[in-house]
Amino acid sequence: MFSKLKQFKELRDKAKQMQAALSEESVTIEEDGVKLVMNGNLEVVLLTIEDGINKSKLEQSLRTAFNDGVKKVQKLMAKKMQEMGGLPGLS
């Protein structure tokens, strides 16, 4: 039982380390007048929109930028997890 608690603590500590490391990373996506910067915790850090973009183009550009940002952050998460040796107890 204590072994499982120790594993859980190690897992939690490693997850906290990963979250801290990911918060320092960011991805930038530029799509038809929309610039989106997301950190590794999937938080939007910056969103800029050029003047004069029509509504339907803006909606499409935002959708594409957010989806691309999430995919890039997911790849970043996988890379960081691999660099940190994975998470103990999940093999």
Tell me the per-residue pLDDT of 76-89, one tens digit each, with 9 for 90 and over.
Answer: 988 888 887 765 55
Look at residue 73 and tell me if it is in a domain.
yes
Residues making up the chain, counted from first to last? 91
Look at residue 69 and tell me if it is in a domain.
yes
Judge if pTM exceeds 0.75: no
Q: What is the per-residue pLDDT for 81?
A: 82
Look at residue 91 and tell me if it is in a domain.
no
Q: Which residues contact 20 (CB under 8 A, 6 or more apart)?
A: none
Q: How far apart are CA 1 and CA 14, in angstroms?
A: 20
Of 21, 4, 8, 42, which is closest to residue 84 (Cα–Cα)? 21
Look at residue 71 and tell me if it is in a domain.
yes
Q: What is the per-residue pLDDT for 28?
A: 96
Query: What pLDDT digit, counting tens, does each position of 16-73 carry?
Result: 888 888 888 899 999 999 999 999 888 999 999 999 989 999 999 999 999 999 999 9
Look at residue 58 and tell me if it is in a domain.
yes
Q: How far apart are CA 9 and CA 23, in angstroms?
A: 21
Give me the domain span that covers residue 22: 2-83
In the block, residue with structure tokens 């999940």: 90
Look at residue 51 and tell me if it is in a domain.
yes
Beta sheet of 26-31, edge-to-edge order: 26-31, 34-39, 44-49
The CATH code of the domain that includes 21 is 3.30.1310.10
Based on the structure, what is the number of domains in the chain?
Answer: 1
Cα dihedral sign for 89, 77, 44, 64? Answer: negative
